Amino acid sequence: MSEIVYRIINLLNTLLRSVPVGTNLGLMHLFWAFLSGRFLPSRGALFPALADLGLSDDAVRRASAALTYGRFNIADLVQDWNQTVREEGLFRPHSHGGIRPVPVDMVGFFRPKLVGCGSKHYTSQAGKALPAVVFGMVGATGSVGTARLCLPRLLVEALPTEIREATQQKRTVCLAAQSLAQDEALIVDAGFSLTDLLWLDKTRFVIRGQKNFTARKNALPEYKGKGRPPEKGDTVRPLSRTYQKKRIKATPADGSARWKEGRHTIKALLFDALVLSDAKPGSPSFRCVVILDPRYQEPLILVTNLPKSVSARDLWLLYKDRWPIEQMPLAAKQMLGASRSFVFANQSRVRLPQLALLAGNVLSYVAATSAPVATGFWDRCARPTCGRLRRMLARLHFSDLPLPEGQIREKASVTAHLQKGVRAHRRKKAFTDPLTARWTA
């Protein structure tokens, strides 16, 4: 048996240390079904994926029951996974200008035919928002070996009252702000609201601005002696634009910066002391940095409330460290097959995507901290990727795996008095009191 398999078993054993006996064995089976890619050939079907591991029929039922009715919380699993990674000491958090990035993003697991799914998430393939189980992701970016990795910190599920994704976004940002340390800052994409970030008390952030981003100076312009005195600052347009076939010039920058990145020279335009376009002077202020990279056609607009001691290059590096959070849904959906799922209970429809995101992060971490596994003889320059590791695990049979003895085991409960099979879940008609029932002719 490979050393990587023993290492994964030890990591899962530590990850499930707070889960009750019996439920932890079912979750162990679920994690192995994800890590070995069993959901790919089953196209998201839970029972065939578990049966493909070589489990007995009773073990498949117990794993499904652990997913639906098990007494565990995904927040505890995420916390235990963070503690496990910290104990190994292989994860190195990134820091730029004394600021550690904490990326935040939203992800949706699309369920177009799911009855009662009120939340939606936008997909570029359809060009509109489709019914989906939406989660807010909060993590910390660092390096493991030679690869970048985003370690999950929070997986925020939607509340029943949060039909609009913007409401869940705002709550996710608030929860992420509460978990920030003094040297950390939120890194978010353009889909988040700048207004929500500005009104969070003492929360530092870096957000990508829209192409048509505009703001105002945090000072009143000089009164010209005619008309009504101005109440708002001058409009600031970092980029020029065309409106009704008329060219609107960009506002001159307050400063600029340059640095070398390899053989390319990157230029930055600086705009200081800004407020929102509909705000008056004295409102929460921020600054804007426009990154002009010759390798890209469109400039990158970054808005932040970090002090000027954090340079434009540091802001650029901080935003680049937002990208590893995109690896979490990529590994869960594409590599492990969680893009489709056939579970419908109120608990399992939420828990299965959450476990898939966590399993994808475990697979990426193990692949980055282990020796590269070649797919075959043609893979002469193997890299430590989660896809190669998943192909190796797919060739294993569960009966060959040496499960640890001790806490993770089947719970020896007395079930002889319970009904089995169809009788256990047969539906019964609701009782109707004949004295209060309405009779119709």
Our count of domains for the chain comes to 2
Q: How many contiguous H segments (helices) and E segments (strands) does the chain have?
A: 11, 15
Q: Let me know whether 216 and 294 are in one domain.
A: yes
> Cα dihedral sign for 169, 16, 151, 389?
negative
Separation between Cα atoms, residue 288 and residue 273, nearest integer Å: 9
Predicted local distance difference test score (pLDDT) of residue 409: 64
Predicted local distance difference test score (pLDDT) of residue 437: 44
Predicted local distance difference test score (pLDDT) of residue 115: 85
- The answer to whether position 269 is within a domain reads yes
Given a contact cutoff of 8 angstroms between Cβ atoms, the answer to whether 328 and 360 are in contact is yes
Pick the closest to residue 26 from 8, 43, 12, 11 (CA basis). 12
- The answer to whether position 263 is within a domain reads yes
- The answer to whether position 358 is within a domain reads yes
- The answer to whether position 85 is within a domain reads no
Q: Which domain holds residue 61?
A: 3-78+341-412
Can you give the pLDDT of all 441 residues of the chain as single tens digits?
578 888 999 899 999 988 988 898 899 999 999 999 999 999 989 999 999 988 888 889 999 999 999 899 999 999 999 999 999 999 999 999 999 999 999 999 998 888 888 888 888 888 888 889 999 999 999 999 889 999 999 999 999 888 889 999 999 999 999 999 999 999 999 989 999 999 888 899 999 999 889 999 999 988 888 888 888 999 999 999 888 888 889 999 999 999 999 899 999 999 999 999 999 999 999 999 999 999 999 999 999 999 999 999 999 999 999 999 999 999 999 999 998 888 888 889 999 999 999 999 999 999 999 988 888 889 888 888 899 999 998 888 776 666 666 666 666 665 565 666 666 655 555 544 554 444 443
Q: Let me know whether 367 and 293 are in one domain.
A: no
- The answer to whether position 389 is within a domain reads yes
Q: Let me know whether 216 and 302 are in one domain.
A: yes
Q: Let me know whether 293 and 380 are in one domain.
A: no
Predicted local distance difference test score (pLDDT) of residue 422: 66
Predicted local distance difference test score (pLDDT) of residue 201: 83
Q: Let me know whether 285 and 217 are in one domain.
A: yes
- The answer to whether position 86 is within a domain reads no
CA torsion, ordered 425, 428, 430, 434, to nearest 10 deg: -160
Q: Which of 261, 289, 306 is the last residue in one of the domains? A: 306
Predicted local distance difference test score (pLDDT) of residue 243: 84
pTM metric for this prediction: 0.88
Count other Cβ atoms within 10 Å, centred on residue 18.
12
Q: Which two tokens stand for residue 159?
A: 């509340």
- The answer to whether position 395 is within a domain reads yes
Predicted local distance difference test score (pLDDT) of residue 89: 92
- The answer to whether position 137 is within a domain reads no
